[in-house]
Structure 1
Amino acid sequence: MSAFLLSTAVIFVAELGDKSQLMAMTFAARYRARDVLIGITIATALVHLASVGIGAAIGTSFEDYQGTISVIAGVAFLGFALWTLRGDELTDDEAAKARNSTGMALLAVGTAFFLAELGDKTMLATITLSTQEGWLGTWIGSTVGMVAADALAILVGAAVAKRLSEKTITYAAATLFALFGLVLIADGAGWLSSV
């Protein structure tokens, strides 16, 4: 229980103001809030399960690969930016179907969050916590903490979507994805050069 409570609190606080919250807002402006929350929960549960497994198996030596993982995730985010812009060419009917398609939302949100969290501070915090606390409590707690923080962002994103045009949302989402990608690449390159 202490592992659960500690990891919930640590990851909730670590997630506040993180790029994942901005992504949650962006996705909530494009897809149904329920689908975004489900996608985030699935991706977070998988990443944090891997994190506690890594923490239990090899401890903190995983940090040696953080730079490479950040660069790969950054390139993927640049791809998401292009994909978002390309999606602007959908007909109104196709765009409505995409917004209302649970499968499309789960795939987009789940993939983006999975890649964003690889090597992120919340993943590293979960690895670290699992080396000191029980893996099950750490896994459940870290997942709950992150999903709770991102749920706040989803509420904001859904409210913003009601006030902005689809074109504005598309360009804002593409810009955010590109910025996240560039930050991840720069962070990974900096990490790699310090090794």
Structure 2
Amino acid sequence: MEALFVSTGVVALAEIGDKTQLLAFILAARFKKPIPIIAGILVATLVNHGLAGTLGAWITSVVRPDIMRWVLGASFIAMAIWTLIPDKIEEEETQVAKHLGVFGATLVTFFLAEMGDKTQIATVALAAHYGAPVMVIAGTTLGMLLADVPAVFVGNKFAAKIPMKLVHSIAAGIFAVMGLLTLFQADKLF
């Protein structure tokens, strides 16, 4: 359960102000059909994070635990730094697959936007850290939905009121603490 809760919280915080959340705002404003947009976000995230969680589980099977500790610790610290860098969305990402309908456009654009994104990389690292990919995938997907579903319903009005710097700082702090605890072999605390 710990893997589920930590994955949900970290990704929900990291997703606020992320380019995929910005994409949710744009898709909601463009299509004004929240249900197919939310369904597209869910399916895209499950597939994307499913692949990432599987990769994280596989990595733990081929990398020695002492090396894995250093890789994971450094990864979490890198995620902390990356979380502090604001995202922006490219207009081309919102134009992809427009002919597929609202669900298809959301599915394709979200899947592509998540490739190599910090939440996907976090899913790999969390799955490797916890060794519970199903719980991590469920948590990271839930975290994405917690951040993106409200974006679909309230759009840009709500985004302007969120203290992005504070939220990103909290997420970065969590990643940094996880990294330091992993490096100092205090992973029993997580």
TM superposition score category, shorter chain reference: 0.5 to 0.7
- Alignment correspondent of 2:183: none
In the alignment, does 2:18 pair up with 1:21?
no
Say whether 1:123 aligns with 2:120. Answer: yes
Q: Can you give the 5+ residue segments of structure 1 that lack an aligned partner in the other structure?
A: 64-76, 88-97, 161-195
Correspondence 1:133-172 to 2 at 5 A: 133=130, 134-157=132-155
Q: Please report how far the alpha carbon of residue 156 of structure 1 lies from its aligned counterpart in structure 2 after TM superposition.
A: 2.1
Runs of 4+ deviating beyond 6 Å: none
Tell me, in whole angstroms, the C-alpha distance in 2 between the residues paired with 1:139 and 1:56. 11
**CA distance in 2: counterparts of 1:28 and 1:117, whole angstroms:** 18
TM-score (norm 2): 0.61
Q: What is the identity, as a one-letter code, of the residue corresponding to 2:134?
A: L
CA drift of 1:42 comes to 0.4
- Cα offset, 1:2, TM superposition: 0.8
Q: How many percent of aligned residue pairs carry the same amino acid?
A: 35
Q: Deviations over 1:94-149 (max 9, x none)?
A: xxxx8xxxx61111000000000010000010100000111111010100000110
More helix as a share of residues = 1
- Superposed CA offset, 1:69-94 (max 9, x none): xxxxxxxx66546669xx7xxxxxxx
Question: What amino acid does structure 2 have at the position aligned with 1:34?
Answer: I
Q: Is the 8 A contact 2:43 2:107 kept in 1?
A: yes
CA distance in 1, matches of 2:26, 2:95: 15
* Alignment correspondent of 1:2: 2
Pair 153,58 (structure 1): closer, same or farther in 2 beyond 3 Å: same
Find the counterpart in structure 1 of residue 49 from structure 2: 48
Aligned CA RMSD, in angstroms, stands at: 2.7
Aligned length: 130
Question: Hey, what's the Cα distance between the residues in 2 that align with 1:123 and 1:3?
Answer: 15
Q: Deviations over 1:163-184 (max 9, x none)?
A: xxxxxxxxxxxxxxxxxxxxxx
